[in-house]
């Protein structure tokens, strides 16, 4: 796979928007966001809406779509779960892995996240691996240790030749859905820690070239300063991505 390192603007809809609301979003979003060669846009709807997104956006190949999670196994008796190959069949090209809400609510620990990333890669999807610290971890001075541990767990589970296929998202748990955004300085510091951990585990060139997104209360009003922070290669947007106009405004951020 050739590594595409254009800035990436991604929407994580979490548990919002079924197929009907997804079609409405695509109609409105495509009327206010034109294809742009210098950036990538990817939406992660609930898996039940992935096919609706792909069909509604059939004339917009510039808009990528992905799932928010897959099961670590290829198939089997796992009621309620979806597999990576089903996600591919529905039109997904991407999958999130290790989002803090999965880690907190569903017990996705480093080991399980790593197994999911392996499955995602084996099915041909591109993973966006989410890492980030809680407020307690930050306050106790464990920021570097937590990020290094989360990055190392995934790198050690993935063959070296696939390290370049990984996209990363730094999402401080205390900034998710709280309205409390990391300052551009906080984001730059954490992105540098993730990048160093990648350089240590995957090699200097991969560390330098990796796409690392920032996520946590990104809005039209703060996108520019976050995108200008050193080492920030894009964003993963929750709440503000549910409004087509707001997400379009974020995706249109001028690039320096």
| Cα 192 to Cα 210: distance, rounded to the nearest angstrom | 11
Asked if residue 17 lies in contact with residue 56, where contact means CB atoms within 8 angstroms, the answer is no
Binding residues for ligand 13P, total number by CB under 6 A: 14
Question: What are the tokens at 62?
Answer: 């510039």
Alpha-carbon torsion, ordered 73, 76, 82, 86, to 10 deg: 90
Question: According to CB under 6 A, which one of 217, 220, 223, 248 is a site residue for ligand 13P?
Answer: 217
167 touches ligand 13P by CB under 6 A? no
Q: Which is nearer to ligand 13P, 193 or 223 (CB)?
A: 223
Q: Which is nearer to ligand 13P, 66 or 216 (CB)?
A: 216
- Region of 31-39, 119-127, 142-150, 215-223 interacting with ligand 13P (CB under 6 A): 215-223
Q: Which is nearer to ligand 13P, 52 or 218 (CB)?
A: 218
Spatial neighbors of 244 by CB under 8 A, at least 6 apart, are 25, 28, 29, 32
In this structure, are strands 126-131 and 94-97 parallel, antiparallel, or unpaired?
parallel
221 touches ligand 13P by CB under 6 A? no
The reply to whether 171 belongs to the active site is yes
Asked if residue 242 lies in contact with residue 234, where contact means CB atoms within 8 angstroms, the answer is no
Minimum distance of ligand 13P from residue 122's CB (angstroms): 24
Query: E strands, 13-156, where?
Result: 40-44, 63-67, 94-97, 126-131
Active-site hit among 51, 101, 133, 171? 171
The reply to whether 3 belongs to the active site is no
Minimum distance of ligand 13P from residue 182's CB (angstroms): 10
Give φ, ψ of 169 to 5 degrees: -130, 120
| Binding to ligand 13P, residues 72-131 (CB under 6 A) | 99
| Binding to ligand 13P, residues 173-212 (CB under 6 A) | 176-177
Active-site hit among 51, 71, 99, 191? 99
Which positions touch ligand 13P (CB under 6 A)?
Answer: 12, 99, 171, 176-177, 215-218, 236-240
């Amino acid at each position: 796979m050739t590594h595409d390192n254009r800035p990436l603007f991604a929407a994580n809809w979490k548990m919002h928007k079924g197929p009907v609301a997804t079609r409405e979003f695509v109609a409105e979003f495509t009327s206010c966001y034109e294809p742009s060669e210098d950036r990538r846009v990817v939406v992660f709807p609930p898996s039940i809406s992935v096919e609706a997104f792909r069909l509604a956006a059939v004339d917009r190949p510039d808009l990528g779509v992905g799932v928010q999670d897959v099961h670590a196994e290829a198939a089997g008796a796992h009621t309620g779960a979806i597999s990576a190959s089903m996600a591919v069949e529905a039109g997904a090209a991407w999958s999130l892995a290790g989002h803090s809400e999965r880690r907190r609510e569903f017990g996705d620990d480093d080991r399980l996240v790593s197994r999911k990333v392996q499955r995602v890669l084996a099915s041909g999807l591109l993973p966006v691996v989410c890492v980030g610290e809680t407020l307690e971890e930050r306050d106790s001075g464990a920021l570097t240790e937590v990020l290094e541990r989360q990055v190392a767990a995934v790198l050690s589970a993935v063959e070296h030749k696939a390290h370049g296929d990984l996209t990363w998202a730094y999402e401080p748990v205390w900034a998710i859905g709280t309205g409390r955004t990391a300052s551009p300085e906080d984001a730059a510091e954490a992105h540098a820690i993730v990048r160093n951990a990648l350089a240590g585990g995957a090699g200097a060139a991969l560390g330098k070239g990796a796409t690392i997104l920032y996520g946590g209360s990104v809005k039209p009003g703060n996108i520019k300063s976050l995108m200008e922070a050193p080492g920030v290669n894009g964003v993963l947007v929750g709440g503000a991505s549910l409004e087509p106009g707001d997400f379009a405004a974020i995706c249109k951020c001028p690039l320096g």
